[in-house]
Amino acid sequence: MKRPPVVVVVGHVDHGKTSLLDYIRKTNVASKEAGGITQSVGAYEISHNNERITFIDTPGHQVFTKMRARGVKMADIAILAVAADDSVQEQTKEAYKVLLETKTPFVVAITKIDKNNADINKTKNDLMQLGILLEGYGGNISWQEISSKTGEGIDKLLDLILLTAELENLQYDPENSGRGYVLESKLDSKKGILTTLIIMDGKIRVGDQAMAGNISGKIRSLDNFLGKPIKEAEPSSPILLIGFKEIVPVGSELKIGSVTQEPNQKPEKVPMSPVKSKDGEIVINLILKADSAGSLEALTEVMNNLPLAPSHRINILNAGIGEITEGDIKFNPEVIIGFRVSTNKAVDNLANIHSIKIISSEIIYELIKNLEDWIKVFDKKIISGDFEVLAVFGKKGPKKQIIGGKVIAGEINNNASCDIQRQGKSLGLGRIINLQKNKQDTNRVEMGSECGLLLSSEVEIKVGDHFIFN
């Protein structure tokens, strides 16, 4: 039987993807999305010329690469949105690359043609330079100029989608066992695990046994994309399913019926305690929390690829779905990152007591910026030098002691003040009034070098003490 097309809209951030879907759906999702950018994969169904079309709305920000690619792989057809006032950009190229790799048929929508600075000819030429040859310009890629503000060209764009779907001859067998792909999975405090998916073949009904990834469950309820309960769903339909007891791997295939469960894979071991800095390396221990599996995957990728100084390293102590809790504090990280999740006053107070920073936001680029700003402050608190006392040679006048030792982190400078620590506890302050290396006066000694110094302090220094320089 004929199956409606599943369509994904891809392109550079702020090139009008969500605005296009807003106009098509006659709703205003963009204003409901924090920052005006779609940040989780949603699916929507519309009717055009009495035929159904399902749209997958993918995140716009550059950090959601995997989620966008996943949306393309689940789709039958793509719309590559390119803004006439901005032309081809980096994520335009990235999206086109994914379309080629997945061999996904696509049409081009040149958006924002109502803008005063729209340059349609430049956009077409830039697309040609990218290798996208439009119909009428030496190629066979269908395209349409559109304005999501006025609606100009959108009906023609939908016509192109239905024509492309006709050429693709999309089919399904209603007698087959239901099969689909998981778009998103998250934990709801009241309803349990909510799984969003697109059906690709067969039918899915309430009461069916289901398997996704290596997680099984019995379908307790189905909602359509409008949130209305349904008893069964057919191919190309976006649905919300309740029935799994665990978070379902995003992108995994869902199958209906008696499915043989594969042996459980051992989860990757996660460090259960903070990693300490050594050899001059600054380790930033993090906890990551997000509202859904897809968001957590993207957030983890961002943290693992965060541009840092060579001396810095991110260490993810734990990553999970749901609100920030007291259990996260027990990992004793430097910072907890929360994306689209909440916390409460008790947790905030506990974090303050333990000097743990909580950074949370519903906007991914804001979250990244806040973290980068915090790292700058964190760096200032990080020691610039750590001197270990290896010998005490005696005193030279009141409050002056002759010390020998080694710089084990950073560097130390003459006339610098330090915090004198013994077994991690602060004993008081001191100041270097003379610094020597190889029995020669010097202004600076670097990590790994031994040196002697004359320290002014009321604290009586012992072997094993550390001088911490900020």
**pLDDT category, 32, cuts 50, 70, 90?**
low
3-state SS, residue 255:
strand
Q: 27: which residues sit within 8 A by CB, 6+ positions away? A: none
Q: Is the pLDDT of residue 448 over 80?
A: yes
Q: What angle is formed at CA 96 by the lines to CA 125 and CA 46, rounded to 5 degrees? A: 105
**pLDDT category, 37, cuts 50, 70, 90?**
very low
User: 179-256: which CATH number, 3.40.50.150, 3.40.50.300, 2.60.40.10, 2.40.30.10?
Assistant: 2.40.30.10
Q: Residues 48-54: what's their mean pLDDT? A: 90
CATH 3.40.50.300 segments of the chain: 6-168
User: Which CATH code fits 6-168?
Assistant: 3.40.50.300
Q: Residues 271-275: what's their mean pLDDT? A: 50
On whether the pTM is more than 0.85, the answer is no
pLDDT score recorded for residue 268:
43
pLDDT score recorded for residue 209:
93
pLDDT score recorded for residue 405:
95
**pLDDT category, 263, cuts 50, 70, 90?**
very low
Say if CB 359 and CB 367 are below 8 A apart.
yes
pLDDT score recorded for residue 409:
82
Record the tokens describing residue 286, joined without a space: 């993090």
Distance CA 44, CA 20 (A): 12
Q: Residues 118-131: what's their mean pLDDT? A: 94
Q: What are residue 418's DSSP bridge partners?
A: 430
**pLDDT category, 383, cuts 50, 70, 90?**
low
Q: What is the pLDDT of residues 59-105, one digit of tens each?
A: 655 555 666 667 667 889 999 999 999 999 988 998 899 889 888 89
CATH 2.40.30.10 segments of the chain: 179-256, 385-469
User: Which CATH code fits 385-469?
Assistant: 2.40.30.10
Least confident of 40-49, 89-98, 322-331, 346-355: 40-49
Q: Residues 104-122: what's their mean pLDDT? A: 94
Q: Residues 386-401: what's their mean pLDDT? A: 91
Record the tokens describing residue 223, joined without a space: 């909602």
DSSP label at 41? -
Q: What is the pLDDT of residues 195-220, one digit of tens each?
A: 988 888 998 999 999 998 888 899 99
pLDDT score recorded for residue 205:
92
CATH 3.40.50.10050 segments of the chain: 282-381
pLDDT score recorded for residue 454:
95
User: Which CATH code fits 282-381?
Assistant: 3.40.50.10050
Say if CB 170 and CB 218 are below 8 A apart.
no
Q: What are residue 340's DSSP bridge partners?
A: none
- Mean residue pLDDT of the chain comes to 85
Q: Is the pLDDT of residue 187 over 90?
A: no
Say if CB 451 and CB 407 are below 8 A apart.
yes
